[in-house]
Structure 1
Amino acid sequence: MKRGLGAMIGVIVVLALIIIPLLSSYNGFIQAEENVEQKHSQIENQLQRRADLIPNLVNTVKGYAAHEEDVLGDIAEARSRLIGANSVQEQAEADDSLSNALSRLLVIAENYPELKADKQFTQLMDELAGTENRISVARMDYNEEVTNYNKRVRQFPSRIVASIFGFDTREYFQAQEGAEEAPNVDFEGTGD
């Protein structure tokens, strides 16, 4: 009887030694995954903030630069793509398109001194600049969290737990190829 009890206690101890680290690792993955989701939602919040600022900015510019419809149309299209993006990659691509279109808008604003002096335009540009900074910080925080998560998914022995429970690596928020270069703005044929 004592022998059976000792064997049963031994089995329980061995199972506990296996199950406790397994549960701990699983819970760590859940926490890491939630951290990644939280950081991604911060990017989405800031992208939405910027998307909400854009219509006011475009309407302000329209009054001064009515013949710059191409740029204003590009901004509207890029904004729509950003709002409809379903993946991190789609968001990054739409974000790059919107940033390029906004850069072209800023170059256009340089040609309209009255626009640059407009209080509403200046205020919107300040808000947009602040939002761009927040987006940059949110991307950096997200990518840092993805790095931590991906390391956990790929390192041994947590890799075993990741494969058992279906935890996969996550995508980084990356700019499109060539996004580091300033957009080419051609004003030939525009203006009065």
Structure 2
Amino acid sequence: MKKKFLGLGCLGIGIIAIIVIAVGGIVFYVNTNNTLVDMKGQATKQWANVESSYQRRSDLIGNLVKTVQGAADFERGTLKDVIEARSKATSTTIDANNLTPEKLAAFQQAQSGLSSALSRLLVTVERYPDLKSNQNFLELQSQLEGTENRINVERNRFNDLAGEYNIKIEKIPTNLIANIAGFEGMALFSSKPGAEDAPDVDFNFD
């Protein structure tokens, strides 16, 4: 009889141990999943800030184009390039929940194309003294410079948050939960040498 009770006691302890382990596993899963949801959410929110900054730049360039169009005999081909590049840049968007390297590369390429077209436009402006002294033009200069800096800041913040998230889902044992729950890595902005500096948008050619 004593052995029987001893056996039942060991069985009870074993069941309790299994329950404790199971509950601990569930708690770990829930906590880890919530942490990943929060980290990805912060990175996704920051991506919205990146897009907002690029949209701000696009709006300013649109105003710049309107100002330049008012100049007599201004090179229409140069304006056309900017307008087309701006259209491509604004139409190239990415779902924040599907930030693949390929899609981010296409986004960066479109934005770079707009930067290049804008640079060519600004060089052409040098031949138009009246346009260079236009107060609206000068105001756009200041706003564009500030926006380029803001884009750089927002991109760096995104890379920081998305990078931390990417590292988290690769670490053991978090990677097990990430695989089960379907958490995938987020693509990061990459840059060419010198790309960390905001493009030169100085309208003063004196």
TM-score, with length taken from structure 2:
0.79
CA distance in 2, matches of 1:160, 1:61: 57
User: Which residue number in structure 1 is paired with residue 125 of structure 2?
Assistant: 109
Match 2:69 to one of 59, 62, 70: 62
CA distance in 2, matches of 1:103, 1:11: 67
User: Which residue number in structure 2 is paired with residue 118 of structure 1?
Assistant: 134
Deviation at 1:168, TM superposition (A): 1.2
User: Which residue number in structure 2 is paired with residue 14 of structure 1?
Assistant: 21
Is 1:163 matched with 2:170?
Answer: no
User: Which residue number in structure 2 is paired with residue 82 of structure 1?
Assistant: 89
Alignment deviations for residues 80-110 of structure 1 (CA, whole Å, 9 cap, x no partner): 1121113333321111111111111221222
SS at match of 1:64: coil
CA distance in 2, matches of 1:78, 1:108: 17
- Amino acid across the alignment from 2:167: K
Contact 1:153 1:159 in 2 (8 A): yes
Q: Percent identity?
A: 34
CA distance in 2, matches of 1:145, 1:89: 19
Contact 1:152 1:158 in 2 (8 A): yes
Deviation at 1:179, TM superposition (A): 7.9
Deviation at 1:178, TM superposition (A): 7.9
Is 1:51 matched with 2:67?
Answer: no
TM-score, with length taken from structure 1:
0.84
Is 1:73 matched with 2:77?
Answer: no
Q: Give 1 or 2 for the bigger CA radius of gyration.
A: 2
Give 5+ residue unaligned stretches, structure 2. 95-103, 200-206
Contact 1:96 1:179 in 2 (8 A): no
Q: How does 1:107-186 map to 2 (within 5 A)?
A: 107-175=123-191, 180=195
Contact 1:61 1:115 in 2 (8 A): yes
User: Which residue number in structure 1 is paired with residue 48 of structure 2?
Assistant: 41
User: Which residue number in structure 2 is paired with residue 190 of structure 1?
Assistant: none
- Tell me the matched-pair count: 181
CA distance in 1, matches of 2:30, 2:55: 37
User: Which residue number in structure 1 is paired with residue 114 of structure 2?
Assistant: 98
Contact 2:68 2:74 in 1 (8 A): no
Identify if the C-alpha distance between structure 1 residues 117 and 139 changes in structure 2 by more than 3 Å, giving closer, same or farther.
same
Deviation at 1:135, TM superposition (A): 0.6
Deviation at 1:77, TM superposition (A): 1.3
Deviation at 1:65, TM superposition (A): 5.8
CA distance in 2, matches of 1:12, 1:99: 61
CA distance in 1, matches of 2:51, 2:169: 24
